[in-house]
Amino acid sequence: MNLVIKNMKYSKFASQETNCFECDIYFDGKKTLRAFNDGRGGTTRFDEYFKNGFLALKQYTENYNLNNSFNNNEHKTSSELIENLVENYLLQKDSNRRLKTMLKKYIVFLSNPKELSYYRIFPNEINISKIKEKHPNFIILNCLNYNEALELFTQAMV
């Protein structure tokens, strides 16, 4: 069973104790549920688009819990699972926006897998080759395919 989040609406200013959002949840390409949270610390709530929407979410959550190990054998509720997926979605969206901006203006690199940094110089071939000569072990994100760079950037940001 494949879960996809679409039509995400997020409100940063209304998010207090939890993320304030609304989104549609698709299972195997079928619009199944609407998930929403008012951002004031309560759990995520759901509305069904068709009769067995909650059953699909329950089955997905059970499969997720069976296939993923947790500390002390704790299992995630459907609400916690969707909240985690929303957080990951928002992190990915923010990372995507930030990386695009940085790659246009700076030479962005990793000196080790978790240490992201950048030089405030225009990222042309001459400047990049100078940095490669000085620091051959750096992973320069400007030189990578965008998806690889985004994955490394997101991992370093977490």
User: Over the stretch 126-139, which tens digit does the pLDDT of each residue have?
Assistant: 999 999 999 999 99
* Residue 84: inside a domain: yes
Least confident residue range of 17-26, 56-65, 71-80, 102-111: 71-80
Other Cβ atoms less than 10 A from the Cβ of 101: the count is 10
Domain's final residue, options 93, 117, 136: 93
Using a pLDDT cut of 90, give the percent of the chain over it: 42
Give the strand order in the sheet containing 139-140: 115-119, 107-112, 139-140
The span from the CA of 127 to the CA of 140, in Å, is 12
The span from the CA of 31 to the CA of 48, in Å, is 9
pLDDT exceeds 90 at position 7: yes
Q: Which pLDDT band, with edges at 50, 70 and 90, does 140 fall under?
A: very high
124 with 74, same domain?
no
Beta strand pairing call for 20-27 and 3-11: antiparallel
The span from the CA of 72 to the CA of 45, in Å, is 26
Instruction: Check residue 40 and give its pLDDT.
Output: 92
SS3 content of the chain, % helix, strand, coil (to 5): 45, 25, 30
14 with 89, same domain?
yes
H helices of the chain, in order, are 53-67, 78-105, 125-134, 146-157
Give the residue among 149, 105, 150 at the shortest CA–CA distance from 124: 105
83 with 45, same domain?
yes
Using a pLDDT cut of 70, give the percent of the chain over it: 95
- Looking at the structure of the chain, the number of domains it has is 2
pLDDT exceeds 90 at position 85: no
What string of DSSP letters covers 71-82?
A: GGG----HHHHH
* Residue 98: inside a domain: no
66 with 113, same domain?
no
Q: Which pLDDT band, with edges at 50, 70 and 90, does 154 fall under?
A: confident
Say whether 70 sits in a helix, a strand or coil: coil
* Residue 114: inside a domain: yes
The answer, as to whether pTM is greater than 0.85, is no
Name the token pair of 96. Answer: 């995507």
The span from the CA of 33 to the CA of 59, in Å, is 14
If you average pLDDT over residues 135-148, what whole number do you get?
95
Parent domain of 118: 106-157
10 with 48, same domain?
yes
Are the CB atoms for 27 and 3 separated by under 8 Å? Answer: yes
* Residue 100: inside a domain: no
* Residue 23: inside a domain: yes
